Amino acid sequence: MRINRISGLLLSVIAFAAPGFAQETADSVAPEGASEGQVQALTDELIAALEAKTNGVPVQSENWMVAAANPLAVEAGAKILRAGGSAADAMVAVQVVLGLVEPQSSGLGGGAFLVWYDAATGQLTTLDGRETAPLDATPTLFQDENGEPLQFFDAVVGGLSVGTPGTPALLEEAHRRWGRSPWPGLFTDGIRLADDGFLVSPRLASLVANDAERLSRFPATAEYFLPEGEPLQQGQRLMNPAYADTLRALAEDGAAGFYGGQIASDIVRTVRSAPGNPGVLSGTDLALYQVIERDPVCAAYRTYEVCGMGPPSSGALTVGQILGMLNSYDLAAMGPESMETWRLIGEASRLAFADRGRYMADSDFVPMPTAGLVDPDYLAQRAELLNAEGALTDVAPGNPEFDHAMNWADDESLELPSTSHISIVDSYGNVLSMTTTIENGFGSRLMTNGFLLNNELTDFSFRTHRDGVPIANRLEPGKRPRSSMSPTIVMQDGAPVLAIGSPGGSRIIGYVAKSIIAWADWDMDVQQAISLPHLVNRFGTYDVEVDTAAEGYADALIEIGFEVNPRDLTSGLHAIEIGETLSGGADHRREGIALGE
């Protein structure tokens, strides 16, 4: 009975009590409602977690919590936490299951950024597991014989776009630093589900159907996602024995079992022999891959420090710029229904994106004004531009303090939404916020050993120069492409109070900034903040979430002077508030849950 009830709930009304926003129907806001098949596979505790999301209330717990994009992955992490594992241990279990049940978004063939609060030391740090450009890659990799940029999907599909995967090394490094559970046990659920099969979720089924033509171009990929030529169906049991073998190799040999030996050879062969679009990744690239520890980038907002991933991600800098510019405006008094609120958020975002396009890239390769970009004086000066009547007609990069004079041209890389976010708090007080990706949905569409390979290199600018001036985020051998991933931990008085992040291409930045504002200024709990309809502005056009109350703001935004584009805005926010108790939220726009005890 309960099974039927939750299934019905998911397919009927999704109520979320965001102040000022009308309740939405599932038809309009939940493109990925759970199927009967999915639900039947779930335990009572997962069903309760789905109910909480459906009812728009946060999940509460005392000791630990995990929030991620698929119930089976969350359950794998919960088992580890329940048995006394750390957030880093649980993350490994979550990631290896996500790579199986949500293969289009993240996995072993991709990269990730991890932000970590260490309860024992009180310190925040970050791990950069971003893909690298192969050493054989040239800056003009994505240009045709006339020096013109390739069409986006001509570059994405095939071997050319594949960077050196970073995720397996990141899993091992996080476990080496912060793990408490034996490494092999973290793969148990992933191996079992890959061997025995799992039920294809509605989201996976619909994305396979939409991408069937591209997935059909490569035999290994077609065989898995389009068995006998037909797209996978939701509720169908899917086994992935090749992935189970890969997980066994990782469990036994660690990341060395991925970056060397048979799996590494298979990756290189798959990339270099991709029909029509071979790439240049080599065994040397895999053997040389390194995770890099980096200082977090933090920006002040109200009584908080909002901390996240610095370069090569633009995430923390751009989120920090938006919040920093808004810091002197009383958004709490204006509230979420004021058009002045959305004018200010939209314009701060456009200004931040102008700086992002000019200055942000892999700072190991290009000089970057990292500190200058979030300097409060600089942001106060940029915020003066917000004192305008209508929409700004001219939005240009500013001049942050820069100790290394450099003249950059504006970037034009295109990032389409995919990706996944994991938030975890363990019973020791450690906090993990990790965003993980293979870039485009299904990445390069190349598959080997049961996992998809990324297309992360298309996050570089396809052009190298503009009017003779170099672009900071141009491709260079060994460089990491600029990201928008924004895994975030919000601190107050030296203690973590919120872990949050999202998928969504470069709109990730707007989703995360808006949710932090809703939580910090409008007293929304994490579930309300996540569920609040999206309004996102990056380059001038205001994207408003179709069929939500946000769409009702279109006329007023047009009157202010914005172009408006109603569209799906499929974030996948997963957040945990850390107070006396833990309070978790999962995005109704995807299939995830928060779960804790």
Catalytic residues: 419
In the bound state with ligand GLY, the residue whose beta carbon lies nearer, of 53 and 590, is 590
Q: What are 446's two structure tokens?
A: 């190349």
Query: Residue 419 Cβ, how far from ligand GLY at the closest point, in Å?
Result: 6
Please tell me the distance from the alpha carbon of residue 100 to that of residue 103, in angstroms, as a whole number: 5
DSSP state, residue 123: E
In the bound state with ligand GLY, the residue whose beta carbon lies nearer, of 484 and 537, is 484
In the bound state with ligand GLY, the residue whose beta carbon lies nearer, of 130 and 343, is 130
Q: What are 154's two structure tokens?
A: 């001509």
Q: Collapse the DSSP code of 546 into the 3-class scheme (helix H, G, I; strand E, B; otherwise coil) and give the result.
A: coil
Q: Collapse the DSSP code of 575 into the 3-class scheme (helix H, G, I; strand E, B; otherwise coil) and give the result.
A: strand
Which residue carries 């095939």 as its tokens? 158
Please tell me the distance from the alpha carbon of residue 296 to that of residue 320, in angstroms, as a whole number: 12
DSSP state, residue 551: G
Q: Residues with Cβ < 8 Å from 338, sequence gap 6 or more? A: none
Find, among 491, 459, 131, the residue nearest to 320 by Cα: 491
DSSP string, 452-491: EPP-GGGGSBS-SEETTEEBTTB--TTPPPPB----EEEE
Strand segments, DSSP code E, in 302-338 are: 304-308
In the bound state with ligand GLY, the residue whose beta carbon lies nearer, of 427 and 437, is 437
State the burial class of residue 153 (Cβ atoms within 10 Å of its Cβ: 0-12, 13-18, 19+): middle
In the bound state with ligand GLY, the residue whose beta carbon lies nearer, of 7 and 318, is 318
b/e per residue 324-359 (b: at least 16 CB within 10 A): bbbbebebeebebeeeebbbbbbbbbbbbbbbbbbb
Q: What are 589's two structure tokens?
A: 């726009």
Query: Residue 268 Cβ, how far from ligand GLY at the closest point, in Å?
Result: 22
Q: Residues with Cβ < 8 Å from 356, sequence gap 6 or more? A: 314, 317, 318, 321, 411
Please tell me the distance from the alpha carbon of residue 200 to that of residue 197, in angstroms, as a whole number: 9
Query: Residue 213 Cβ, how far from ligand GLY at the closest point, in Å?
Result: 22
Residue nearest to ligand GLY (CB): 483
Q: Is the CB of residue 378 less than 8 Å from the CB of residue 400?
A: yes
Query: Residue 481 Cβ, how far from ligand GLY at the closest point, in Å?
Result: 7
Please tell me the distance from the alpha carbon of residue 498 to that of residue 397, in angstroms, as a whole number: 30
In the bound state with ligand GLY, the residue whose beta carbon lies nearer, of 423 and 486, is 486
Query: Residue 525 Cβ, how far from ligand GLY at the closest point, in Å?
Result: 27
DSSP string, 232-262: --TT-EE--HHHHHHHHHHHHHTTHHHHSHH
Query: Residue 571 Cβ, how far from ligand GLY at the closest point, in Å?
Result: 13
Please tell me the distance from the alpha carbon of residue 250 to that of residue 259, in angstroms, as a whole number: 10
Positions touching ligand GLY (CB under 6 A) are 415, 419, 437, 439, 459, 483-485, 505
Q: What are 239's two structure tokens?
A: 């086994």
Query: Residue 385 Cβ, how far from ligand GLY at the closest point, in Å?
Result: 26
Query: Residue 439 Cβ, how far from ligand GLY at the closest point, in Å?
Result: 4
Query: Residue 297 Cβ, how far from ligand GLY at the closest point, in Å?
Result: 15
Please tell me the distance from the alpha carbon of residue 289 to that of residue 285, in angstroms, as a whole number: 6
Query: Residue 483 Cβ, how far from ligand GLY at the closest point, in Å?
Result: 3
Query: Residue 131 Cβ, how far from ligand GLY at the closest point, in Å?
Result: 9
Peptide bond into 417 cis (omega under 30): no
In the bound state with ligand GLY, the residue whose beta carbon lies nearer, of 343 and 421, is 421
In the bound state with ligand GLY, the residue whose beta carbon lies nearer, of 52 and 309, is 309
In the bound state with ligand GLY, the residue whose beta carbon lies nearer, of 413 and 583, is 413
Please list the alpha-helical segments (H only) found in 66-157. 71-82, 87-101, 152-156
| Apex 408 CA angle, 406 and 411, nearest 5 | 155
In the bound state with ligand GLY, the residue whose beta carbon lies nearer, of 355 and 459, is 459
Which residue carries 């728009």 as its tokens? 56
In the bound state with ligand GLY, the residue whose beta carbon lies nearer, of 343 and 514, is 514
Please tell me the distance from the alpha carbon of residue 204 to that of residue 235, in angstroms, as a whole number: 10
| Apex 501 CA angle, 34 and 524, nearest 5 | 80
